[in-house]
């Protein structure tokens, strides 16, 4: 499986000539989802869900499909009847040849005064990759590659480190990093790498690794 990091929370997975894209939001490249056979969206926040990016992908490939939770599906499904699938915690399905399990229900707490929205994470191919969206969801399954939300208004570094320790992945790649400046990256790299207990890795947007 080939993993390609796009900007912020978006990643592309390629296997057997097919492509799965997760969370092409407004912080990601305009063509982040173009060429995808299947697209997964974790929640409705704009940095994870961009209707323009989804439309570009769906119009480029009439066979492309989307799997997402109800709050996103209701905004896009009318434009692409039969091609947008609503999922929730506990669901399993196959998308573009990838086996997917859905884990989690709620977005992390940003502030007690802000109502929590729904959020799901996606476990790919039995634990090869886990993308939690905007939550520190522990899937309860072994995880080889954790897409790690490294910096967000709803998290602090101690929680990020403890999340890595609890999931115990073989490796963790940074995502949700658009707000993390280059000046601060060495601090995060050192703390997560030293305390997390796993290989902590980072890809620049457009770079890839083989999993």
Range of the domain at 173: 2-210
Mean pLDDT, residues 170-199 taken together:
96
- Reported as a pLDDT band with limits 50, 70 and 90, residue 33 is very high
Mean pLDDT, residues 64-87 taken together:
97
Provide the mean pLDDT of the chain.
97
> Residue 17's pLDDT is what?
97
CA gap 192, 126 in Å, rounded: 25
What would the pLDDT profile of 91-100 be if each residue is shown by its tens digit? 999 999 999 9
Mean pLDDT, residues 188-203 taken together:
96
CATH number where 80 lies: 3.60.15.10
> Residue 189's pLDDT is what?
95
Which residues, 6 or more positions from 209, have their beta carbon under 8 angstroms from its beta carbon?
Answer: 2, 3, 173, 201, 203
Report which of 67, 76, 65, 187 is spatially closest to residue 131, judged by C-alpha positions: 67
- Count the neighbouring beta carbons within 10 Å of the beta carbon of residue 107: 21
What would the pLDDT profile of 99-119 be if each residue is shown by its tens digit? 999 999 999 999 999 999 999
Query: Model-level pTM?
Result: 0.97
Distances (CA, A) of 71 to 113, 142, 170: 20, 29, 32
Count how many domains the chain has.
1
> Residue 187's pLDDT is what?
95
């Amino acid at each position: 499986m080939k993993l390609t990091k796009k900007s912020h929370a978006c990643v592309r997975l390629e296997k057997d000539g097919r492509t799965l894209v997760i969370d092409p939001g407004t912080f990601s490249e305009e063509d982040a989802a173009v060429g995808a056979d299947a697209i997964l969206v974790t929640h409705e926040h704009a940095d994870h869900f961009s209707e323009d990016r989804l439309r570009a992908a769906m119009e480029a490939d009439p066979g492309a499909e989307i799997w997402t939770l109800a709050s996103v599906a209701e905004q896009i499904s009318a434009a692409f009847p039969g091609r947008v699938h609503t999922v929730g915690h506990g669901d399993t399905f196959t998308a573009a040849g990838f086996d997917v399990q859905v884990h989690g229900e709620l977005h992390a707490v940003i502030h007690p005064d802000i109502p929590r929205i729904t959020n799901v994470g996606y476990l790919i191919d039995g634990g090869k990759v886990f993308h939690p969206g905007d939550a520190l969801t522990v899937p309860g399954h072994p995880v080889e590659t954790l897409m790690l939300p490294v910096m967000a208004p709803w998290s602090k570094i101690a929680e990020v480190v403890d999340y890595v320790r609890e999931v115990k992945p073989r490796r963790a790649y940074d995502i949700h990093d658009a707000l993390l400046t280059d000046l601060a990256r060495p601090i995060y790299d050192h703390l997560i790498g030293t305390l997390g207990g796993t290989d902590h890795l980072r890809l620049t947007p457009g770079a890839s690794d083989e999993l």
